[in-house]
Structure 1
Amino acid sequence: MSEDMTRLTLRLAKPEDVPALTALMNAAIAELLTPFLPPEGVAASFEVMGLDSQLIADGTYFVVQDGEAIAGCGGWSRRATLFGGDHSAGRDAAMLDPVRDAARVRAMYTHPDHTRKGVGRMILAACEQAAAGEGFSRAEMAATMGGVPLYEACGYEAIEPFTAPTSKGYDVPLVRMGKALTPAPVR
């Protein structure tokens, strides 16, 4: 385990974390998407990305801390929405059936000061373990172009590319990705 990962701690997000999480997400979108999208694409991404507070209410959203600093966040969902924040159009709070549906990995963000430290891997592992513990055998997500390399390295495979249209006239490119989950151990 790297020295960076030994300093990282994982916990569930709380409603009082929302201002800090919003700032982290804004920084991640603004800085980490610039190698993958033109300036108008980064600006449009704010319209389709962000925090879905339902994840915090459901107890499925994690925060990774590096000391006192929030280094990253992300979660999973047993609800139908694949991506987007509270402000995004097309959200669907319908509950998924673990027997036939894939759990959703949602709203994964790493602060630009904490990339390449294992933050994303830590969150993905926690999401996968929790979803498998609730009987899901598969997870899916809508990955940004910046996230695809991490998710591929963690065993996710591309299902289909698609775009999220915005009112700014820019269609944000995303990739639906999926992975089979390891069943939770029987206790």
Structure 2
Amino acid sequence: MLTHRLATHADIPALRALMALAIDRLQIGFLDERTIAASRAIMGLDTQLITDGTYFVIEADGALAGCGGWSRRATLFGGNHAAARDDTLLDPACEPARVRAMYTHPAFVRRGVGRLVLQLAEAAARSGGFGSAELAATLAGVPLYTACGWSVIEPLRSDPIDGQCVPLVRMGKLLVSSPA
């Protein structure tokens, strides 16, 4: 059974270990070794999400199964070490919330972890007044997001890291239904 809670700063070491494992193992088949290595430079934990109270820990029978969250800040993707961070607050009346830093432990793939994170993040962003959300998907994440109702907006590429660009896909979803 999956349970969830908000992440705390005490979770950071375990979250970073889970993220490293997910980056290294779950992108095999989607990216080559050099691109997986480059992705470590742009992916990872943004501790601002924990401070903001918008980052979830997913557990399965007490074991860390995954994590992820949402943000009311402008940064679309990237961990603390990423250069292009922007902590500007978004206007929920006209800008989309960001779904950020979703990772599943390889031992828990295809068990509903990612879907649960998306449900939690979408509901929280909706409660925060946002009518839509965006995310930057890895190629490995696109099938999950598509199955959960997210649409492709445009392909993205990271800035070159040791000559290697990481392919990403900007995706979006309406969080509120249009009046009929």
Say whether the fold is shared (TM-score over 0.5): yes
Distance 1:18 1:119 in 2: 19
Question: Which residue of structure 2 aligns with residue 119 of structure 1?
Answer: 113
For structure 1, list consecutive stretches of 5 or more residues without a partner in the other structure. Answer: 1-6
Q: How does 1:3-22 map to 2 (within 5 A)?
A: 7-22=1-16
What is the SS of the residue equivalent to 2:41? helix
Q: Which amino acid aligns with 2:63?
A: A
Distance in 2 (alpha carbons) for counterparts of 1:134 and 1:41: 35
- Determine whether 1:153 maps to 2:147: yes
Q: Does 1:165 align with 2:150?
A: no
Counterpart Cα distance in 2 of 1:147 and 1:167: 21
**Following the alignment from structure 2 to structure 1, what is the Cα–Cα distance between the partners of residues 56 and 149?**
20
> Separation in 1 of the partners of 2:50 and 2:172?
23
Task: With the length of structure 1 as denominator, give the TM-score of the two structures.
Answer: 0.93
8 Å Cα contact 1:48-1:166 kept in structure 2: no
- Once the two structures are overlaid, the 10-residue window that deviates more, 161-170 or 79-88, is 161-170
| TM-score normalized with structure 2 length | 0.97
- Pairing 1:1-187 to 2, within 5 Å after superposition: 7-182=1-176
How many residue pairs get aligned? The number is 177
Q: Could you tell me how far apart the structure 2 residues matched to 1:32 and 1:152 are?
A: 17
SS in 1 for 2:93: coil
CA distance in 2: counterparts of 1:169 and 1:84, whole angstroms: 18
| One-letter amino acid matched to 2:44 | G
For structure 2, the 5+ residue unaligned runs are: none
The C-alpha deviation readout for 1:46-90, integer Å capped at 9, x for no partner, is 000000000000000001001121100000000000000000011
Aligned to 1:108, what secondary structure does the other structure show? strand
* Map of 1:4 onto structure 2: none
> Cα deviation per residue 1:17-45 (whole Å; 9 max; x = unaligned)?
00000000000000000110000000000
